[in-house]
């Protein structure tokens, strides 16, 4: 007889069972259910998971605020892939006796996608391929990165890799965040500047901050206006770092050259979202961490978290 019920959430590609031996948990009294679709509301989440003891959440795909956690009376262990998850209320989890654990991840997946998006935007690859397949030839004219200025907002692990990529492509690299020091920036090959200077002087601005109440809305109308009509914004961090209303206006009214975006204020991005109709955009469906290497770390780590918890010695605990 099964002692625990475990739910794996938002397995969009149907691959969770390819990256960890979930079926082996049956020997330990754990019944595993995989959810391939996305819950559209807190009510759906609470109703679907009310009888589960263990939940595996893929990044921030399904939020777990206090209002949801309070409706999950059976929940004992909540595992998030990655070492942090802004969509989980850790204090509420602790108050309800829920252990929250994290996993490792890939340090290269997100910055590699970020650079791929920038290159694709610069050389107009999506439009060029579409044109070619339609029987046309050389649709537009791209631009080079060499000699341009790259502004990095958030010089953490990903931001530092971006700085190295920028230097390798012959770009001048600027950096800004609220607590960044000149020494840290210099060590990464970047020059620390003010926020205003970064958006004014950069040809490309790439965002790499963690989402928090302090960082939400870091980029608004003023920053987009400073970036200017030749400036490109790249966001593979989190959608709410950018004021979405201001961003749509910037694209529609030509404040900036364009955007390359992998993250959105609402995910999955709903049909009819304003960005889908906005000009000069390159959009991808939050692929920053979606690699074989990353999934091995995520699902493998989640499996380790579950087995450690079953053994009575939780690992990588995030709850206070």
Catalytically active residues, by annotation: 238, 267, 286
Sign of the four-CA dihedral 239, 240, 244, 250: negative
- SS3 state at 282: strand
The two three-digit tokens of residue 167, written as one number: 């230097």
Beta carbons of 52 and 5 less than 8 angstroms apart:
yes
CB 63 within 8 A of CB 80: no
3-state secondary structure of 88: strand
Neighbouring residues of 131: CB distance < 8 A, sequence distance ≥ 6: 137, 138, 139
The Cα-based distances of 176 to 163, 195, 210 in angstroms read 12, 6, 14
Bridge pairing between strands 99-101 and 77-80: parallel
Is 302 within 8 Å of 103 (Cβ atoms)? yes
Which parts of the chain fold into alpha helices (H)? 42-49, 66-69, 90-95, 109-122, 125-133, 157-168, 182-187, 195-201, 221-227, 244-253, 274-277, 292-310
Per-residue burial over 287-301, b if 16 or more Cβ lie within 10 Å, else e, is ebbbbeebbebbbbb
């Amino acid at each position: 007889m099964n002692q625990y019920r475990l739910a794996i959430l938002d397995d969009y590609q149907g691959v969770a069972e390819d990256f960890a031996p979930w079926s082996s948990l049956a020997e330990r009294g754990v019944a595993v259910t995989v959810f391939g679709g996305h819950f559209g509301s807190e009510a759906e989440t609470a109703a679907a998971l009310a009888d589960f003891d263990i939940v595996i959440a893929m990044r921030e795909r399904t939020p777990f605020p206090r209002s949801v956690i309070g409706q999950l009376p059976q929940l004992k262990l909540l595992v998030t892939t990655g070492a942090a998850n802004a969509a989980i209320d850790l204090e509420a989890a602790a108050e309800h006796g829920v252990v929250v654990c994290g996993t490792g991840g890939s340090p290269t997946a997100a910055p590699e996608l970020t650079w791929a998006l920038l290159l694709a935007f610069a050389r107009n690859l999506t439009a060029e391929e579409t044109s070619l397949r339609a029987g046309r030839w050389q649709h537009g004219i791209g631009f080079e990165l060499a000699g341009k200025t790259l502004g990095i907002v958030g010089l953490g692990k990903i931001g530092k890799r971006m700085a190295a990529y920028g230097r390798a492509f012959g770009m001048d690299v600027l950096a800004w965040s609220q607590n960044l020091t000149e020494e840290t920036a210099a060590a990464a090959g970047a020059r620390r500047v003010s926020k205003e200077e970064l958006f004014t002087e950069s040809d490309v601005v790439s965002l790499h901050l963690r989402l928090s109440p302090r960082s939400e809305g870091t980029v608004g109308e003023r920053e987009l206006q400073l970036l200017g009509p030749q400036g490109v914004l790249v966001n593979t961090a989190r959608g709410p770092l950018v004021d979405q209303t201001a961003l749509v206006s910037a694209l529609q009214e030509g404040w900036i050259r364009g955007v390359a975006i992998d993250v959105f204020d609402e995910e999955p991005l709903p049909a009819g979202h304003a960005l889908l109709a906005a000009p000069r955009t390159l959009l991808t469906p939050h692929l920053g961490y979606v690699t074989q290497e990353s999934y091995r770390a995520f699902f493998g780590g989640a499996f380790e978290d579950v087995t450690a918890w079953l053994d009575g010695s939780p690992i990588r605990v995030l709850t206070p």
